[in-house]
């Protein structure tokens, strides 16, 4: 990591307004396992296929999350959250970055942490998940990917934000369940590839049939795995809800659907990690920072669901 994590503080002058800025502690990797979950910044977008800007995601998400209140009406307040700061990424090729990051994320899992990675582009999913595939205690590993795209492209000149699940399958990933994929946003070759690997696709259109039904389909897709990793590419949201992403497209999930789905998956005690990627605040045309605000609340719902 790059050194001490940022100082957190709330934004409200009301002493009764407990916000994430009041409850997130600066933490070290060695002490990360003492928290229900720890935040980890990954400021990198050197592998993005679309528009760059996700390198600024970690700071924007932290800033937005600091002012979010901690209370959930069903579960009460969120607490016991640490922040270990930003990862010190290697210079060089995308493979060099992935290799250095994989070593850092392995340290977090070795410490017993449940990391919540703040990206960064989708190429970082590979080193965020890969250390779990090396752990005997992880067993069979499955990923729930909330994404408009499948990200199963072939690795040609080098890894990109479109290749992480191809890389993870090659490394031994057992199951991939993509939630929120869009019609006409992938090709038949990649849909056939995922089908051949036993993966599942729950389209954004099908999510509209109901959150509970979607969660049941996710549970069925993950029924044979021992460890679950949760990935949120912010472009899973409709472009009106998240314009500040690398590849905004219409026809996506509503923010309310995403929050309920993330929380519904996070309560699974098999979950060992989480990420939010492709939040590019400089691409958000709204002066209020709509995309980072939405990404921050997705993080909050994960942390609350994970028992923080």
Contacts of 56 (CB under 8 A, 6+ apart): 43, 280, 281, 282
| Tally of helices (H runs) and strands (E runs) in the chain | 10, 11
Q: What is the mean pLDDT of residues 89-115?
A: 96
Kindly state the percentage of the chain with pLDDT values over 70: 99
Q: Are 89 and 100 in contact (CB under 8 A)?
A: yes
Residue 254 lies in a domain: yes
Residue 238 lies in a domain: yes
Burial class (CB in 10 A: 0-12, 13-18, 19+), 73: exposed
Token pair for 308: 């923080």
Residue 245 lies in a domain: yes
State the residue for tokens 């039904």.
Answer: 213
Q: How far apart are CA 171 and CA 129, in angstroms?
A: 10
Residue 3: predicted pLDDT: 66
Phi, psi of 19 (to 5 degrees): -120, 165
Q: How far apart are CA 202 and CA 214, in angstroms?
A: 8
Residue 265: predicted pLDDT: 98
Q: Say yes or no to pLDDT of 276 above 80.
A: yes
Q: What is the mean pLDDT of residues 111-122?
A: 97
Residue 11 lies in a domain: no
Residue 4 lies in a domain: no
Contacts of 307 (CB under 8 A, 6+ apart): 36, 267
Sheet strands (E) in 120-220: 141-146, 175-181, 200-203
Q: How far apart are CA 146 and CA 177, in angstroms?
A: 8
Residue 75 lies in a domain: yes
Residue 243 lies in a domain: yes
Q: Say yes or no to pLDDT of 185 above 70.
A: yes
- pLDDT classification of 5: cutoffs 50, 70, 90: confident
Orientation of helix 255-266 relative to helix 290-305, angle to 10°: 30
Q: Say yes or no to pLDDT of 308 above 80.
A: no
Q: Say yes or no to pLDDT of 197 above 80.
A: yes
Q: Say yes or no to pLDDT of 21 above 90.
A: yes
Q: What is the mean pLDDT of residues 153-159?
A: 95
Residue 287: predicted pLDDT: 79
Token pair for 255: 């923010």
Paired sense of beta strands 76-77 and 24-26, if any: unpaired
Q: What is the mean pLDDT of residues 229-254?
A: 96
Residue 307: predicted pLDDT: 78
Q: What is the mean pLDDT of residues 269-298?
A: 95
pLDDT digits (tens, 9 = 90+) for 204-239: 999 999 999 999 999 999 999 999 999 999 999 999
- pLDDT classification of 92: cutoffs 50, 70, 90: very high
What's the number of domains the chain is made of?
A: 1
Q: What is the mean pLDDT of residues 163-191?
A: 97
- pLDDT classification of 279: cutoffs 50, 70, 90: very high
Residue 1 lies in a domain: no
Residue 178: predicted pLDDT: 98
Mean pLDDT of the chain: 96
Domain containing 191 — which CATH number?
3.40.800.10
Range of the domain at 190: 20-305
Q: How far apart are CA 5 and CA 27, in angstroms?
A: 7
Q: What is the mean pLDDT of residues 170-193?
A: 97
Paired sense of beta strands 141-146 and 271-277, if any: unpaired
Residue 286: predicted pLDDT: 80
Q: Say yes or no to pLDDT of 241 above 90.
A: yes
Kindly state the percentage of the chain with pLDDT values over 90: 94
pLDDT digits (tens, 9 = 90+) for 24-68: 999 999 999 999 999 999 999 999 998 999 999 999 999 999 999
């Amino acid at each position: 990591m790059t050194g001490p994590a940022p100082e957190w503080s709330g934004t409200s002058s009301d002493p009764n307004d407990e916000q994430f800025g009041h409850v997130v502690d600066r933490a070290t990797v060695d002490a990360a396992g003492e928290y229900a979950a720890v935040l980890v910044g990954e400021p990198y977008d050197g592998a993005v296929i679309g528009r760059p800007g996700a390198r600024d995601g970690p700071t924007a998400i932290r800033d937005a999350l600091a002012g979010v209140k901690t209370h959930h009406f069903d579960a009460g307040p969120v607490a016991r959250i640490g922040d270990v700061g930003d990862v010190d990424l290697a210079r060089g090729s995308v493979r060099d970055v992935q290799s250095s990051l994989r070593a850092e994320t392995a340290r977090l899992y070795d410490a017993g942490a449940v990391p919540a990675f703040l990206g960064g582009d989708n190429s970082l999913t590979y080193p965020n998940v890969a250390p779990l595939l090396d752990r005997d205690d992880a067993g069979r590993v499955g990923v729930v990917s909330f994404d408009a795209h499948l990200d199963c492209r072939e690795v040609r000149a080098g890894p990109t934000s479109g290749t992480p699940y191809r890389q993870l399958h090659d490394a031994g990933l057992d199951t991939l369940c993509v939630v929120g994929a869009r019609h006409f946003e992938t090709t038949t070759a990649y849909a056939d590839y995922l089908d051949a690997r036993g993966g599942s696709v729950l389209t954004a259109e099908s999510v509209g049939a109901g959150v509970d039904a979607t969660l049941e389909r996710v549970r069925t897709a993950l029924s044979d795995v021992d460890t679950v990793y949760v990935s949120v590419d912010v472009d899973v949201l409709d472009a009106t809800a998240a314009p500040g992403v690398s590849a905004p497209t219409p026809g996506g999930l509503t923010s309310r659907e995403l929050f309920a789905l993330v929380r519904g998956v996070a309560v699974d005690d098999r979950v060992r990690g989480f990420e939010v990627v492709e939040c590019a605040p400089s691409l958000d045309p709204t002066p209020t920072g709509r995309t980072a605000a939405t990404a921050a609340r997705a993080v909050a719902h994960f942390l609350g669901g994970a028992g923080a």
